[in-house]
Amino acid sequence: MESVNQTASVMEFILLGLSAHPKLEKTFFVLILLMYLVILLGNGVLILITVSVSHLHTPMYFFLGNLSFLDICYTTSSVPLILDSFLTPRKTVPFSACAVQMFLSFAMGATECVLLGMMAFDRYVAICNPLRYPVVMSKAAYVTMAISSWAAGSAASVVQTSLAMRLPFCGNNIINHFTCEILAVLKLACADISINVISMGVTNVIFLGVPVLFIFVSYVFILTTILRIPSAEGRKKAFSTCSAHLTIVVIFYGTILFMYGKPKSKDPLGADKQDLSDKLISLFYGVVTPMLNPIIYSLRNKDVKAAVRNLVSQKCFTQ
């Protein structure tokens, strides 16, 4: 009988989500669904214009198209599960489905970290070495950079997911989260997870620390170069080419630092409130950030705004 119970616990996980706050579930279901539709529409339009508009066939917009596709994949790997958890009081997820969802979420997150670093390098070369830009950022170079970003993120996810799924789960199978978030799953293992913790720490340094440092150094050189431009119009034009990327970097990494860097409450009464706030912050990171990316690029980039207007006017004229 005991072995049957152990097998059952390994075969599926239970997602708590907001089950402790049923009044919030319907509100967040509508809110997250609307945000998801905006993500699909906004990022889908960006992909469409970066592919169809010939003068946007440049490294910057190629990376932007990759970022938009990544955001669609990232949210699609988790949002349907989140929406379902709002409608189902006791959401169960098969072990294999949990592993797939964990792999996709981790892979997309790691890939985005590297991709943002590649985009910073693109802006560095464009502003600091404009004469060499066509040579350094050739099509072969930026396509290879994008492929490397996807490959690195996927490889890191394979390692982390494999290490997590090899652990025995013989006790509690309730995940206190919306999705199969890897840290939440590791807490349920009934074995030593020190290797997982060390591996996760190394991965965080590589995929969070290194890109942040690279982006910071790149923008130090970019800002130094911009400040040397004699005319105010020239400085404004140069900064406008990287302001959208810089805004996305601040939102992306700022949310991560706030999510994992804020102190934990020791008050038992405040623990439940903090647990709720942690979940909502995680939700913000997973849904709001991908929704803001196309909006930021549309508002801060003249080429994108012009392409969107042309696309809308063509649709209206066709109708």
pLDDT digits (tens, 9 = 90+) for 232-271: 888 888 888 888 888 889 888 887 777 665 555 554 445 5
Residue 4 has what pLDDT?
A: 40
Helix (H/G/I), strand (E/B), else coil: 175: strand
Q: Let me know: does 292 contact 251? Beta carbons within 8 Å.
A: yes
pTM: 0.86
Cβ distance 177 to 111 under 8 Å? Answer: no
Helices H / strands E in the chain, number of each:
14, 3
Question: Domains in the chain, please, with CATH?
Answer: 12-258+279-300 (1.20.1070.10)
pLDDT at 20: 66
pLDDT of residue 202: 93
CB atoms within 10 A of CB 90: 11
Residue with tokens 């090899």: 166
Q: Which residues contact 40 (CB under 8 A, 6 or more apart)?
A: 72
Give 4-14 pLDDT, tens digit per residue.
Answer: 444 444 578 88
* 13 strand-pairing partners: 93
d(CA 147, CA 140): 11
Determine the angle formed by the axes of helices 59-76 and 95-128, rounding to 10 degrees.
160
Tens-digit pLDDT profile for residues 167-178: 888 777 788 778
Q: What integer pLDDT is reported at residue 7 of this predicted model?
A: 42
At residue 92, the pLDDT reads 82
Looking at residue 142, its pLDDT comes to: 95
pLDDT under 50: residue ranges of the chain? 1-9, 267-269
